[in-house]
Amino acid sequence: MQISQRFSGLTGGGSDGWDLFIKSRRMIGDGVPVIELTIGEHDIRTAAPVLQAMHDSAMGGHTGYAMVPGTDALRDTVAARVQTRTGVPTTRDNVLITPGGQSALFAAHAAACDPGDVALYIDPYYATYPGTLRGVSAVPRAVPARAEEAFQPRMADLEKVAKDARSLLINSPNNPTGVVYSAQTMAGIAKVCQDHDLWLISDEVYDTQIWEGTHISPRALPDMAERTLVVGSMSKSHAMTGSRCGWLIGPEQVIADAINFATHTTYGVPGFVQDAAMFALQQGAAFETEVGAPFQRRRDLARAILAKQNTVGLIPSGGAMYLMLDIRATGLSGDDFADKLLMERHIAVMPGESFGLAAAGHVRVAMTIADDAFAKAITDLCTFAESLVPSQ
């Protein structure tokens, strides 16, 4: 028996981008000491008071079916947070609580696209994006951004492919590059969406991790609220990756239909997880700053180290927990460099090619180990890269 093309074709017949990560994990399983700078997993765990709130809720009996849209209390809390951060009027009717940001991303595209619709996304991209679009039977189409322009997508490039498209997916602060989209970039994106009647899906899971520049939610731009769907999550902002609690923000009718969709797919998020998420959100901005502080500190450490050499380049990183490093001076692809670095120095980074063709010749570094170990790993990476530069 054959399975559907929706399943068998999720990765488009190629790699899912996680090959090197899987290889490094196998080495670790075999007892090889590997320094992992691969995935966006905090080196701290979920804070004890948040876990206590989850425990108390579960022990208090909130373990049965929760309301599919999310509890009223959490939806109200998320709505108030979004309204405060963006200035856009937001109520619980604009909020669907989802099992993590990935579920919200899927629901957003299911809402925006019919089978066969063209769905745009920016390259470089988070590894699940193309598969998510194929999963709703949309046709994924990448729009390249350029390393030479700090991976800020250009309005002219979007214009070239927007005519027959239905949606555009963006991510700022960006994974994998760490780039924060500028006001000019966001204005261009909004104009293209308005001119070509596109849904804009904005993945904002790193919105609390801003080191330079300003986070702009496109939902707050003029005439954009009714065509923008925003994906949010507790995973990165509150170190709750395994709790799987996120949300989708959008117009009331879209959210009403998305609730119906959730009834037939995920059937909601456990109540005790929602209660823990509400508790975490109530801790305020200081808590979120504490969670994000190590990444800003490590970015500054890396910048100081990289400034002392001229082989490895750094894409300007304004946010999130990643650095995108340019290793083209070595003459290697990102794939080959990352593989050699893993095998010869036991340092695991993600090849830029895992995130699209636009990031070829780069590697992504997750800033997710202790400061001293991170600084040593970056120093070793630079020394290794210098050893590979072809002699003149």
Mean pLDDT of the chain: 96
Q: Is the pLDDT of residue 392 over 60?
A: no
**What percent of the chain lies above the pLDDT cut of 90?**
93
- pTM comes to 0.95
Decide if domain 5-45+286-384 falls under CATH 3.40.50.2300: no
CATH 3.90.1150.10 domain range(s) in the chain: 5-45+286-384
3-class secondary-structure state, position 154: coil
Residue from 130, 72, 70, 77 nearest 100 by CA: 70
Pinpoint the alpha helices (H) of the chain.
5-8, 19-29, 48-59, 72-86, 101-112, 129-135, 155-161, 183-195, 252-263, 271-281, 285-306, 334-345, 371-388
Residue 50: pLDDT band by 50, 70, 90 thresholds? very high
* 212-225 pLDDT, tens digit each: 999 999 999 999 99
Average pLDDT over residues 164-175: 98
Task: Output the six-digit token pair for 60.
Answer: 């208090």
CATH 3.40.640.10 domain range(s) in the chain: 64-284
Residue from 274, 348, 361, 331 nearest 28 by CA: 348
Q: Which helix (H) or strand (E) holds 200?
A: strand 199-203
List, as one string, the DSSP characters of 320-350.
TTEEEEE-GGGT--HHHHHHHHHHHH-EEEE
CA 7, CA 144: separation in Å to the nearest integer? 26
> What is residue 16's predicted lDDT score, i.e. its pLDDT?
66
Task: Output the six-digit token pair for 252.
Answer: 């009331």
* 118-157 pLDDT, tens digit each: 999 999 999 999 999 999 999 999 999 999 999 999 999 9
Q: Which residue in the block uniquely carries the two structure tokens 């797919």?
A: 265
C-alpha pair distances (Å), 98 with each of 74, 125, 263, 336, 366: 11, 22, 11, 38, 25
Contacts of 48 (CB under 8 A, 6+ apart): none
Q: Is the pLDDT of residue 265 over 60?
A: yes
Task: Output the six-digit token pair for 348.
Answer: 């695991």
Residue from 144, 137, 104, 105 nearest 121 by CA: 144
Q: Is the pLDDT of residue 95 over 70?
A: yes
The CATH code of the domain at 64-284 is: 3.40.640.10
